[in-house]
Amino acid sequence: MDRAYGKPVPALASMAPAWMVDQKVALAEVLPALKTALAAMEQIENDFGALLPLAQLMHLLVITDAAAASESCGGECIDLQIAAFRRIEGWSPLLEQLASIDGMILKLMQPMYPELKPEQIDEYKSFWRKFLDSSDARWRRLAVERLRSKGLESTVRDELLHALMVDRAKDELLDDARWFGERALAQGTRLVDGTRSWLAVVCYRQLDVACGDRYRKGLPEGESEFRRSNESIDEGRAHALAANQLQKRSDIKSRIALAEHYGGLLRYSDARAIADQLARKHPRDARPVVVKASILLDQTFDTRTASKLLKAADGFDNREDKFFQMRIGLVFEYLKPLLAGADGSDKELEASFDSLTPIVRDYAKINFDRGKMLELVLKLGRTGMAVQKGKASNAGFA
């Protein structure tokens, strides 16, 4: 069970600024508020609407932690904290971005803490980052504590073991994920098909095809809820089989293929390690760069960094179809708001079209039809831009 613990974390209340921690609030007061805040999160419709409720959840967790230090935190108390931490974890990419935006943090804080001083804003920003860094470890520790409690309802146990299995798989800790899933089956989980489905995925990600086949066998086929899941499992099996065949090959083409299969299995750290090794060994080869850019897009959809990686490889050897498709696609991703009339000058549009011209010309050398088609797209884009500019000029004399 210690597999779930991860790195040690200090008490949440001890990490928070002193002005956030109200030592006088009892659990009987804060738990209903925590329950209400969690229910409110179910109604959130967009990212911006989630910001204040998430900040309120964080505040309530600090108060709960402070109260639990002097009172006994029972099953409901632990369950609510786990649910809150997991809810925040689901929004963590957005929250991490906000942590670096001074104005947004201030906007969040004003309705909650209207009388704060400037130095307290800095304290809150620091706490925000520490909270996000530790929230994952906190809910896992609470989950283990709950699993060890006496008289635990089987439904709660099943959900916690399933959550821990999924969490460990997400973090690429596949041995731990498999351990939690197999423990759940051994204890008679009611989530049999869901657990077997996840275990099949985990086994294939470990390249253990026999194990994956064992858990895949007998999963429901007809129900629509399992059909898509089974298709994903079968894709994982194909990646695992191919990766096993490539393990001992050392040529660059095979290593690139292995990295791509690892990416398909969501083993991003392994795929990245291969790409980094190849990039050091073949510094002028574009193929490892494509792998690294693909991983970035799959994991974080960080189009800016991926675009920079590919741009730096413009003069490299072995720029194949995928390189050009990603390179050009990311430029068009940047062009979308400009073409739609969002903020951006004509000069930016012209510079973007200019940057694409030599790339498209190079693409035509390896894929004539697609290259020529994209040259036509660029020509039409420039024509459209000129027409729009003419309309704007004429409107000025109307």
CA distances from 41 to 63, 132, 156 (A): 19, 18, 21
**Amino acid 396: pLDDT:** 43
Report the pLDDT value the prediction gives residue 300, as an integer from 0 to 100.
81
Domain locations along the chain: 2-152, 171-247, 320-391
Q: Is residue 69 pLDDT above 70, yes or no?
A: yes
User: What is the distance between the alpha carbons of residues 303 and 234, in angstroms, rounded to a whole number?
Assistant: 29
The pLDDT value recorded for residue 205 is: 97
Selected residue with higher pLDDT from 280 and 390? 280
Q: Distance from CA of residue 16 to its chain's centroid? A: 26
First to last CA, the chain: 75
Distance of CA 331 to the CA centre of its chain: 23
Answer for the pair 274, 262: CB distance below 8 angstroms, yes or no: yes
pLDDT at 391 over 50: no
pLDDT exceeds 60 at position 395: no
Per-residue pLDDT tens over the stretch 11-62: 888 888 888 887 678 898 899 999 998 888 887 766 666 777 888 888 899 9
Identity at 190, one-letter amino acid code: R
**Residue found by looking up tokens 């990039």 in the block:** 279
- pLDDT band for 200, please (50, 70, 90 cuts): very high
To the nearest whole percent, how much of the chain has pLDDT over 90? 39
Phi, psi of 285 (to 5 degrees): -105, 130
How many helices (H) and strands (E) the chain has is answered by: 19, 0
* pLDDT at residue 102 greater than cutoff 80: no
Residues 91, 50 contacting (CB under 8 angstroms): yes
Q: What's the Rg (C-alpha) of the chain?
A: 26
Cα separations in angstroms, 323 against 240, 285, 288, 343, 374 = 24, 11, 10, 29, 15
| Residue 1 clears pLDDT 70, i.e. is over it | no
Rounded-to-integer distance, Cα 135 and Cα 375, Å:
49
The listed range with the strongest mean pLDDT (18-22, 119-123, 253-257) is 253-257
User: pLDDT at position 117, please?
Assistant: 79
* Distance (Å, whole) CA 30 – CA 36: 10
Query: Looking at residues 65-72, what average pLDDT do you find?
Result: 86
Band of residue 342 on the pLDDT scale cut at 50, 70, 90? very low
Which range has the top average pLDDT, 164-168, 280-284, 366-370?
280-284
Arithmetic mean of pLDDT, 54-76: 88
Per-residue pLDDT for 144 more than 70? yes
Pick from 59, 58, 72: nearest CA to 27: 72
pLDDT tens column, 295-313: 999 988 888 899 899 999 9
Burial class from Cβ neighbours inside 10 Å (0-12, 13-18, 19+) for residue 382 reads middle
pLDDT greater than 70 at residue 352: no
CB 161 within 8 A of CB 147: yes
